[in-house]
Structure 1
Amino acid sequence: MKGLPALTLSLQFARFDGVQSHRDVLQRQRVTRWIRHALQAPAEITVRIVDAEEGLALNRDYRHRDYATNVLTFDYAISPVVVADLVLTAPVVEREARELGISLQAHYAHLIVHGTLHAQGWDHETGEEDAERMEAREIEVLAGLGFDNPYAGR
């Protein structure tokens, strides 16, 4: 992967029922590739896969929203090195993939790219133009990784 930014990755899995199917999809080499393709600078990123209880607690405590969401991004630095934690709630990701009729791998790839863009300052909640730019970047990165447009048909 010459030409792509350097990445130090910590990939963590909480203990919960069914965690092995998520471990199988989220092989370190695969996750590293997804993140590096979304990066514009070197990075130190932790990806943590959690159960619904931990996802709910984090979303409630940090975003004041009382539900478990699919991905949370905690960005600590953007320059000169991107430093961030991405927390993905496994049961939510699995349910959404099933509802969307896509593979668990494709949904994780999208959410990890999405979170990585957030870690670099991209934001879809600041206005329609920003949301369109971020979606376009996600589509571009995912296409380069061999994934379909995650927004097609929605």
Structure 2
Amino acid sequence: MKLSLTLQQDFQAPELVLKRAYIKKTVETALRYIGTQSDCEIGIACVGHEESHKLNLEYRKKDKPTNVLSFPSDLPDEMAEILDVFPIGDLVICIPVVLQEAAEQQKTPIEHFTHMLVHGALHLMGYDHETSDEDAEEMEALEIQILKKLGFENPYTVKED
């Protein structure tokens, strides 16, 4: 499985320097972990509050910015056999929200950004935490294992002062 990545960085922050190779490795690790074998392509946009707010309102009817939005490809799975590279969809990650949440959760910016990448990639592959408790537990368990493989601790563990 190879991943083709389109990266758009409309918002950058000095405390979170993002390298294309790191982002690609993170998403590839998540996709391989869940058994993806087809070559895939993904688009990732790193945006500010305004763009995230606008998209969250338009597509989810929520009047605020959010950490990550996922827009899965609407191509049928059967197309994966026909196409050389299957588009899995797009992620929009709001860097200011990720930075704020990282601080609140006592995580490093890269730790939380990586979690949001993995979380978003799983959403693109059909995983959902909002439909049932069982689905949420399955998705969280996958996130924990993938992040462990990437060298990060369980993102759902509350850190003590």
Question: When the two structures are superposed, what TM-score results if normalisation uses the length of structure 2?
Answer: 0.86
Q: Runs in 1 of length 4+ with deviation above 3 angstroms?
A: none
Report what 1:105 is aligned to. Answer: 110
What CA distance in whole angstroms lies between the structure 2 residues aligned with 1:50 and 1:141?
24
Structure 1 residues 22-41: aligned runs within 5 Å: 24=17, 26-39=18-31, 40-41=36-37
What CA distance in whole angstroms lies between the structure 1 residues aligned with 2:64 and 2:49?
9
Sort the Cα spacing of 1:22 and 1:58 in 2 relative to 1 into closer, same or farther, 3 A: farther
Following superposition, the deviation at residue 83 of structure 1 comes to: 2.0
Tell me if 1:13 matches 2:9: yes
Answer whether contact 2:13 2:95 (CA < 8 A) is retained: no
Sort the Cα spacing of 1:37 and 1:78 in 2 relative to 1 into closer, same or farther, 3 A: farther
Report what 2:91 is aligned to. Answer: 86
Select which of 133, 148, 152 maps to 1:147.
152
Report what 1:62 is aligned to. Answer: 59
What CA distance in whole angstroms lies between the structure 1 residues aligned with 2:134 and 2:92?
26
What CA distance in whole angstroms lies between the structure 2 residues aligned with 1:142 and 1:150?
8
SS in 1 for 2:14: helix
Select which of 39, 43, 52 maps to 2:40.
43
Unaligned 5+ residue runs, structure 2? Answer: 81-85
Answer whether contact 2:105 2:158 (CA < 8 A) is retained: no
Bigger CA radius of gyration? 2
What CA distance in whole angstroms lies between the structure 1 residues aligned with 2:25 and 2:66?
24
Structure 1 residues 116-131: aligned runs within 5 Å: 116-131=121-136
Q: How many residues align?
A: 146
What is the aligned-residue RMSD (CA, Å)? Answer: 1.6
Question: When the two structures are superposed, what TM-score results if normalisation uses the length of structure 1?
Answer: 0.89
Sort the Cα spacing of 1:110 and 1:63 in 2 relative to 1 into closer, same or farther, 3 A: same
